[in-house]
Amino acid sequence: MKILTGNDLRSGAVTWWNGSGWSLFVDDAVDVGKDAEEILAREEAARRVNVPYVIEASIDAAGHVRPAHIKDRVRALGPTVRRDLAVPTAQKTGWDWVI
Amino acid sequence: MYRYDQYDQAMVDARVAEFRDQARRRLEGKLTEDQFKPLRLMNGLYLQLHAYMLRVAIPYGTLDSRQLEKLADIADKYDRGYGHFTTRQNIQYNWIKLEDAADILAELASVEMHAIQTSGNCIRNISSDHFAGAAADEVVDPRPYAELMRQWSSFHPEFSYLPRKFKIAVIASEKDRAAMRLHDIGIRIVKRGAEVGAEVYAGGGMGRTPMVAPLIRDFVALDQLITYAEAALRVYNRYGRRDNKYKARIKILVHELGAAEYTRQVEEEFAHLLSVGVEPPLAELERIKAHFAPPPFVSSEVETPFEQHLSTILEANGGQGSAFGRWVRRNTHPHKAPGYVSAVISLKPAGGIPGDATSEQMRLVAKLARDHSFDELRVMHTQNLLLPHVRIADLPAVWQALDEAGLGSPNMDTIEDIIACPGLDYCSLANARSIPLAQRISERFAETGRTEVVGELKLKISGCINACGHHHAGHIGILGVDKKGVENYQLSLGGSEAEDVSLAKITGPGFDEDGVIAAVEKVTDVYLAKRSDGERFLDTYRRIGMEPFKEALYG
C-alpha cells in the first residue's frame, strides 16, 4: 500500500494522511493508491504540512500500518533511545517493530 | 570571556526581528517551504525526523553560567528538558516548534547567543581547543584569534554563499585537541622566536572524502591573519565546484589543484589583498584580547609542588583507587596556573546518550562554574563539558556534586567516551542508528571493568557518510550504512584527529548491530594480547598493522 507522510508546519511533528486530514498516528494512515500525486499536490498547496511524500507500507500481522523503510518506522514511533518521548503508537506496536 | 559590544548586539537583535517576520509569513502560508528553507537554515533551524531542530552556536565552545542557564531554560520551556552537545562545540534542541523559533532566538540574544551560520554554505562556528586559556602547553590563548575570525566571518557578504559549508578551527599548542587538520582551514598559533604568528592548513575534512589538511603557510604574522584567511577563502569561493555538492568542499579543490598550486594562488591573492588593506586594526584585536584576560587565580598554593598538593588532596579523599581518585586521574588536565586543573565533565555515563544533558544537569554545571571556575565553561568537541579553572582544593566538592548528578564518570578518552552523532534516531540524513551502539558498547565495557584495562581508546560512530561522528578519526571508527533497508556497520581502525592525525582504514565487510559490538570486543582483545608496555591501542595498531585484527574478525 502507499501512504502519505510529512511534518506538521507549525510543530514539525510527524504526520500521516488519514483520508481527510493529517494524523499523528501511523495506524490512521490510509492507502492512497493512485491518488497519491493528486493529494500531495493539493496538500503542498495548502501549506499545512512540510514536504509531504509518498511511501510504501504494509499492514502487519497485528493490524498495524508498517512503513517499509526503517527511517519512516523511526519517524512513526520516535527515537528508539528515548522511549519516554515516543508517540502513543509505540505502546501498541512495541519497539521491535522498528527494526 | 568576550562580551558583545553595541554592534554585535545590534546585529543579532536585527536578525531575530528579521527571522520573526520570515517565520510569521511562513506560518501564514505566504512563503513556500522552498522559499523558507534557506531562510530558516541561515538561522540554524533544520527539519529533522521528528520535529524542527535548532542548532545554537557556542563560539569556540566558551560559555558562562548565565548562558548555560539560559540554554537549560530553553530546554524546559520550548523543548523536552534536554539538549544535545555536538562534535563542533554547539548545542542542538530536537523538539522545536516553528511558532516558537523566533522567541527562542530572542531569548538567546538576551544572553549574547544566536544560531546564525550554524547551517548553510557559509563559514560555520569557529571551533577551538577546549582547554584554551587554561592549558599548560599553549603558546597563547587562541580564543582572541578565534573571536576575531568569528567577527570577520559573521555576515561576511562575500562568503555567504560559498560552494559548500566551511569550518575553521584555531588552536595554539602542539597538542591538537580540536581536530584542527580535519577542518577546511586549520590555524595553529605558534611562536617564531619572540614573534607570535600562525601556521595555516587548508583542505582538510571528514565526510565522504576524508582528507588531512596540508600546511600551506608556516608563518603568517598576526596582523595579517585575517587577510590570509580572506585570500584562502577567495580562491576557494572562486574555483570551488558548484556543480556537484559532493565535490564542492575545499578539500576537493586543494586535492585536485595540488597543495602547491592552491597555495600559489592564495599567495597571489594575499599579495593583492595586502595592497587593498582588509585587515582589521590591531587595536581591535587588543580590544578583544582584553576580554580574555586570565581570571584572578589564587596564588596561595604556588609554594606547594603540584603533584604533592594533588597527592595530599587524593589521600584525604580515598586515595588513587577511589572513585574520586580515578576521576581525578582520568578527567583532569594540567593547568597553566599553579594550584589549578581543568576538570572534564563527562556526558558519557555508561549506557547513556553521548552529548545529552538534561536542563537540571546544565543548571548544576552552571552553578559549579560560578562557584569553582570563575564563571567559565567549555563545550568539548568530544561532546563533554569542561570546567576550565578549578582549584585542586575544590576538586572533592566538584566531583561529589557531579557524581550525584550522574556526571562523574571517570572516562575521558576511554572506550566509554564515545563520540556518536544523533544518527537515525533523530537525523534525516542518517542511514543507521549510532546512539544504541554507543550505549551498548559503553555499558559492556563498564560492566566488565575493561575500560580502565584498555586505557586510551577513542571510538567514534557516524550514522552516515557525512561523518558528524568523526568515524574516520577514531582509533576505532564505526560507520552506519543502509544495506537494502537494514542497518549495517562498517568497522575501521587507526584514525586519529590529534597531532598524530591519520585516517582510519576499513577492516572489511560490515556487521549487523550485535556483530559490530562483538567485533569491537575482538579488536580490543587483539590489542590487549599484542600491546607493549605503555602502548595505546593506536600505537599497537600502527606497530602491528591491520592483519592481526582482520584475522581475529574474519579469519
Whether A41 and chain B come into contact, CB under 8 Å, resolves to no
pLDDT of residue B314: 86
Nearest by Cα to B108 from B54, B145, B157: B54
Per-residue confidence in pLDDT tens, chain B, 555 aa: 999 999 999 999 999 999 999 999 999 999 999 999 999 999 999 999 999 999 999 999 999 999 999 999 999 999 999 999 999 999 999 999 999 999 999 999 999 999 999 999 999 999 999 999 999 999 999 999 999 999 999 999 999 999 999 999 999 999 999 999 999 999 999 999 999 999 999 999 999 999 999 999 999 999 999 999 999 999 999 999 999 999 999 999 999 999 999 999 999 999 999 999 999 998 999 999 999 999 999 875 555 667 777 888 888 888 888 999 999 999 999 999 999 999 999 999 999 999 999 999 999 999 999 999 999 999 999 999 999 999 999 999 999 999 999 999 999 999 999 999 999 999 999 999 999 999 999 999 999 999 999 999 999 999 999 999 999 999 999 999 999 989 999 999 999 999 999 999 999 999 999 999 999 999 999 999 999 999 999 999 999 999 999 999 999
pLDDT of residue B481: 98
Cβ atoms B467, B435 nearer than 8 A: no
Looking at CA atoms only, how far is residue A60 from chain B in angstroms?
A: 17
Alpha carbons B479 and B420: distance in angstroms, whole number: 10
The values of phi and psi at residue B170, to 5°, are: -125, 125
How far CA B140 is from CA of B58, B170, B191, B290, in Å, comes to 21, 11, 9, 13
Buried b (16+ CB within 10 A) or exposed e, B250-267: bbbbbbebebeebbebbe
Cβ-Cβ contacts under 8 Å, B29 against chain A:
46-47
Looking at CA atoms only, how far is residue B120 from chain A in angstroms?
A: 19
Cβ atoms B280, B223 nearer than 8 A: no
Looking at CA atoms only, how far is residue B80 from chain A in angstroms?
A: 8
Query: Cβ–Cβ of A9/B27 closer than 8 Å?
Result: yes
Whether A33 and chain B come into contact, CB under 8 Å, resolves to no
DSSP at B281: P
Q: What residue has cell string 500481522?
A: A61
CB pairs under 8 A between A and B: 70
Q: Which domains are seen in chain B, by residue range?
A: 6-109 (3.90.480.20), 134-291 (3.30.413.10), 306-404 (3.90.480.20), 419-554 (3.30.413.10)
pLDDT of residue B300: 59
The SS3 call for residue A54 is strand
Q: Over the stretch A41-88, which tens digit does the pLDDT of each residue have?
A: 999 999 899 989 999 999 999 899 999 999 999 999 999 999 999 887
Query: Cβ–Cβ of B47/A74 closer than 8 Å?
Result: no
Alpha carbons B462 and B445: distance in angstroms, whole number: 20
Q: Kindly list the domain boundaries of chain A, sorted by start residue.
A: 2-93
- Chain A 68-97, CB below 8 Å of chain B: which residues? 68-71, 74-75, 78-82, 85
Q: What residue has cell string 577546511?
A: B184
Q: Over the stretch A19-44, which tens digit does the pLDDT of each residue have?
A: 999 999 999 999 999 999 999 999 99
How far CA A23 is from CA of A4, A49, A76, B185, B287, in Å, comes to 11, 11, 11, 46, 55
Radius of gyration from C-alpha coordinates of chain B: 23
Query: Cβ–Cβ of B436/A80 closer than 8 Å?
Result: yes
Q: In terms of CA atoms, which chain B residue is nearest residue A12?
A: B51
How far CA B434 is from CA of B93, B95, B450, B463, B464, in Å, comes to 18, 19, 22, 5, 9
Nearest by Cα to B419 from B471, B358, B357: B471
Query: Cβ–Cβ of A74/B26 closer than 8 Å?
Result: no
The SS3 call for residue A76 is helix
What stretch of H or E contains B148?
helix B143-153
Which residues are bridge partners to B520 per DSSP? none
Cβ-Cβ contacts under 8 Å, B436 against chain A:
80-81
